[in-house]
Amino acid sequence: MNERLKTTLWVIGYTLLAGSCLAIFSVLTEIYRYIFSLLAIYIGIRFFRRFETLGLRIAFFALGIFFYFLVAVIIAMVLYLRDNPQPIT
């Protein structure tokens, strides 16, 4: 596999995991929500150990924020649909 493609897939994978963990952290209210915060920090540390270039680290933050908002919106839509069912007309 092309090395550049492999790096891109790794960056997307790490950022998707970190963004999802942060989105779950922001939705939960119980004490175990902090597990997802620590998991996101751990994923960031693993990413920074694996990729040392500045461009990939900036991409990690930018895509992490993007995936955080994307997953948070999806979770909000699912919770809204679950709590407010449409009446049958």
Helix (H) or strand (E) holding 17: helix 3-27
Looking at the predicted structure, is the pLDDT value of residue 30 above 80?
yes
Residue 49 maps to a domain: yes
Are 64 and 15 in contact by the 8 Å Cβ rule? The answer is yes
Q: Structural domain of residue 54, as residue ranges?
A: 3-83
- Whether 76 maps to a domain, the answer reads yes
Average pLDDT, the chain: 91
Domains in the chain: how many in total? 1
Residue 38 lies in a domain: yes
Q: How far apart are CA 25 and CA 40, in angstroms?
A: 9
Q: How much is the pLDDT for 50?
A: 92
pLDDT tens track for 35-50: 999 999 999 999 999 9
**Residue count of the chain:** 89
For 54, the token pair is: 């500045």
- Contact between 75 and 27 (Cβ < 8 Å): yes
